[in-house]
Amino acid sequence: MHQNLKPNLKQAAAAAMLLAASVAGTTAHAAPAAATNAAAANATADGARRQAEIDAIVREISPQRMRAYVEKLVSFGTRHTMSDTKSDTRGIGAARRWIKSELERCGAASGGRLQVAYDSHVHPVMARLSSPTEIVNVVATLPGTQAESKDRIYVVSGHYDSRVTDVMNARDDAPGANDDGSGTAAVMEMACVMAKHKFDATLVFMTVAAEEQGLLGAENWAKLAKEKNWNVAGMFDNDIIGNSHSDEGKVDDKQVRLFAEGVQPVKEMSDAARALVATGGENDSITRQLARHVKETGERYVPGFKVTIVNRRDRYLRGGDHIPFLERGFAAVRFTEPAEDFSHQHQDLRTESGKKYGDLIEYMDFNYAANVARVNAASLASLALAPSAPKEVKVITKNLTNKTELAWAPNAEPDVAGYRVVWRDTTAADWQGAVSVGKVTTYTSDLSKDNVFFGVQAVDKDGNVSPATYPMPAR
């Protein structure tokens, strides 16, 4: 599976970004000059346009197919990580063979570029594994088509294992329709739809095992990516994205939560983390920039559906497959429905005082789940079509001045048309101003570096905008 991905020597400079969709009208600062207004209007026109190809991808995501995937996953009875691997009809072995064969079928039907493989390792006994267990991820890779971008990788995942109340119970039925048949179905649907398209960067569609036993499948792949120095520029974890009804009866099918951590929990604080904290940039980590890019892109391509960024790693008491990526310094976010129904997660199938428990398909909303998949697909497509976020972005601090001098390294991609400088108040969540500065590597703004946060984005000739990179101070 991985052999096609050449190790990238550069650290994932990931930063993501984006966009000040509503920029021209909401610039928070008095524009220094009319010219700046004109430039900002320009930036809005090119950066906020919808690409026909991304619209086509979003349109093709099908709630009916996602339902069929979840029905099939549920039919394996249990997909517990320690369940039967020999049967063709029950247990996690049958489930993963079916996922692999489905992905191979769609890959073959869409030009044969999708490479499907198992990523497998045997995990020793631990608290949540009573015997050494083979943990198998199913990984479908769509290689990028631009020489300068194919080493840049975006990963989207869901976990296909399931559980009931007792996490060691590998025997009883554990339908895992929503947790996480929903994420698995979204990843399969995206792989099948997107395999027909060509992207500059590489996309990895991954369904992982042993999430419920301690994120073991995702951890194995994240570890490998770190060892091989792969440039994982963004990772999306989809876990519990298929139900719009909460336990308390609330219905909310108009938004998805996007969990995005700030300063990353790598064991030793990296130079990047130290510089972020030193300059007040804790809300400008590569994960937060990725989250801004997802919110802007998702809301542009799926009108009426909101991406609600939550500035946290995950919900209380819960974790997910984005965490092993965060711990290795990659930008990673988690998608989860807005109002969960805990009586239909991790529960033995039963009825108590007239109330039904269990993660059954009847509690799902596939139109909702399809919208979450559309937000994912639009964001992945936009990231993989766009240039990488600019590298070596600096804010020059050698003189005391109220202006801001920015400098960055030129992007390597041949289709880069220029750069955009974006900014916002230090208390604002999203970019408020943007200016297209042309194909240059320095820019001086009349706004003070002390008063606003800046970012720099690369734009290609079709108007695909990269995530923003937060500038580090340099003298």
Task: Note the residues at the interface with Zn ion (CB under 5 A).
Answer: 179-180, 239
Q: Shortest approach of Zn ion to residue 201 CB, angstroms?
A: 27
Q: Are 395 and 210 in contact (CB under 8 A)?
A: no
- Residue showing tokens 């000739």: 461
179 versus 261: smaller Cβ distance to Zn ion: 179
Q: Shortest approach of Zn ion to residue 240 CB, angstroms?
A: 6
179 versus 296: smaller Cβ distance to Zn ion: 179
Q: Shortest approach of Zn ion to residue 168 CB, angstroms?
A: 17
CB burial of 124-142 (b: ≥16 within 10 Å; e: otherwise) equals eeeebbeeebebbbbbbbb
Q: Are 406 and 445 in contact (CB under 8 A)?
A: yes
275 versus 310: smaller Cβ distance to Zn ion: 310
Q: Shortest approach of Zn ion to residue 172 CB, angstroms?
A: 18
177 versus 393: smaller Cβ distance to Zn ion: 177
For every residue of 83-109, DSSP letters joined together read S-SS-SSSSHHHHHHHHHHHHHHHHHH
Q: H or E segment at 390? A: none
Q: Shortest approach of Zn ion to residue 180 CB, angstroms?
A: 4
179 versus 337: smaller Cβ distance to Zn ion: 179
Q: Shortest approach of Zn ion to residue 159 CB, angstroms?
A: 6
Q: At what angle do helices 366-385 and 286-301 cross, to 10 degrees?
A: 120
Q: Shortest approach of Zn ion to residue 211 CB, angstroms?
A: 5
299 versus 348: smaller Cβ distance to Zn ion: 348
Cα separation of 454 and 395, whole Å? Answer: 9
180 versus 327: smaller Cβ distance to Zn ion: 180
Strand partners, 140: 116, 205
- Residue showing tokens 């936009």: 382
Burial of 167 from C-beta contacts in 10 A (0-12 / 13-18 / 19+): middle
Q: Shortest approach of Zn ion to residue 317 CB, angstroms?
A: 13
Apex CA 61: angle with CA 344 and CA 362, to 5°? 25
Q: Shortest approach of Zn ion to residue 62 CB, angstroms?
A: 23
Instruction: Enter the DSSP assignment of 412.
Output: -
360 versus 429: smaller Cβ distance to Zn ion: 360
Q: Are 382 and 152 in contact (CB under 8 A)?
A: no
Q: Shortest approach of Zn ion to residue 473 CB, angstroms?
A: 40
Cα separation of 20 and 60, whole Å? Answer: 27
Alpha helices in 310-351 (DSSP H): 323-326
200 versus 359: smaller Cβ distance to Zn ion: 359
151 versus 179: smaller Cβ distance to Zn ion: 179
Cα separation of 376 and 389, whole Å? Answer: 19
| Alpha carbons within 13 A on the beta-carbon side of 136 | 19
174 versus 286: smaller Cβ distance to Zn ion: 174
For every residue of 187-213, DSSP letters joined together read HHHHHHHHTTS--SSEEEEEEES-STT
Apex CA 235: angle with CA 321 and CA 289, to 5°? 125
In sequence order, which residues have a C-beta less than 8 Å from that of residue 402 and are 6 or more positions away? 448, 450
Q: Are 341 and 248 in contact (CB under 8 A)?
A: no
Cα separation of 412 and 7, whole Å? Answer: 17
Q: Shortest approach of Zn ion to residue 239 CB, angstroms?
A: 4
